[in-house]
Amino acid sequence: MNELAELLAPAADAAPAATPVLRLTGICKSYGRLVVLDEVNLDVHRGEVVCIIGPSGAGKSTLLRVINHLEPVASGTIEFEGSPVYRYVRNGRVVVDPDRKIEDLRSHIGMVFQSFNLFPHLTALGNVIEAPIHVRREPKAQARERGLAVLQKVGLSDKVDAHPHQLSGGQQQRVAIARALAMNPRLMLFDEATSALDPELVGEVLRVMRQLAAEGMTMIVVTHEMGFARDVADRVVFMAEGRVVEEAPARQLFSNPFHERTRQFLQTVLERNDRLQADA
């Protein structure tokens, strides 16, 4: 056995790997002739923070929407906590999960979008407790107690009774994060959560996300915030043209990317950031 093979070979007495919270196998998605996801494979383990980076049109946001079944896949299998979900093959037959099962699964996967998607007629607290009451059928008092706790977690205990139009963009996004947390999710998906914010408001949202990561929340984060990805992620996935081009521990990928396409992307991003700083 050569040196490289020895390094890559598992130890004879190594314990079997824990079942991933999420496993994607051969995920494909197309819109007509446009291939958006092309044979994507990804495992995410409990407590991991996985950041997905890449150019616009790489399929990053579509991948999150597929995980939450907001978009159906053309082929491939999604497993959540060890079980196939949504649409899969069992004993040679295609199985499609019923709507009730899909809705129950979604309740365990929190998602935060670029746009805040808050109900304008509800207060911050009202937005946060809406799903626990109407989806989980929680008693209102119980939902309210948890709602107040998660609003405090995101630093908005003084905005409980404010409506969305009375909040800054950063505050609205933190309400959206609190709304997802109120369902006690097992996995959190963030789709460019800071991209719609003014630069001075980005930090307050990233602070909440850093806190969640430090507390052990399992997270998949699509982001252009390279500093966040480098400092917080356990692993970084670089996507281009619907494919996973490279996947590595964060520090390794940023300091010594293996693939030339990854190096080109990071160089472009760093040069753009340097120009923005020079113009500031």
Q: What is the pLDDT of residues 198-220, one digit of tens each?
A: 988 999 999 999 999 999 999 99
The pLDDT assigned to 196 comes to 87
pTM score of the predicted model: 0.89
H-run or E-run covering 93: strand 93-96
Eight-state DSSP code of residue 108: T
Residue linked to tokens 């980005």 = 202
d(Cα 59, Cα 47) in Å, to the nearest integer?
24
The pLDDT assigned to 235 comes to 97
pLDDT at 240 over 50: yes
Q: How confident is residue 18, by pLDDT bands cut at 50, 70 and 90?
A: confident
pLDDT at 5 over 80: no
How are beta strands 243-249 and 235-240 bridged, if at all?
antiparallel
**Helix axis angle, 140-153 to 124-134, nearest 10°:** 130
pLDDT at 115 over 60: yes
Sign of CA dihedral 27, 22, 135, 160: negative
The pLDDT assigned to 1 comes to 43
133, with CB counted inside 10 A (0-12, 13-18, 19+), is: middle
d(Cα 102, Cα 275) in Å, to the nearest integer?
45
Summarize pLDDT for 147-194 with one digit per residue, the tens. Answer: 999 999 999 999 999 999 999 999 999 999 999 999 999 999 999 999
pLDDT at 17 over 60: no
d(Cα 73, Cα 157) in Å, to the nearest integer?
40
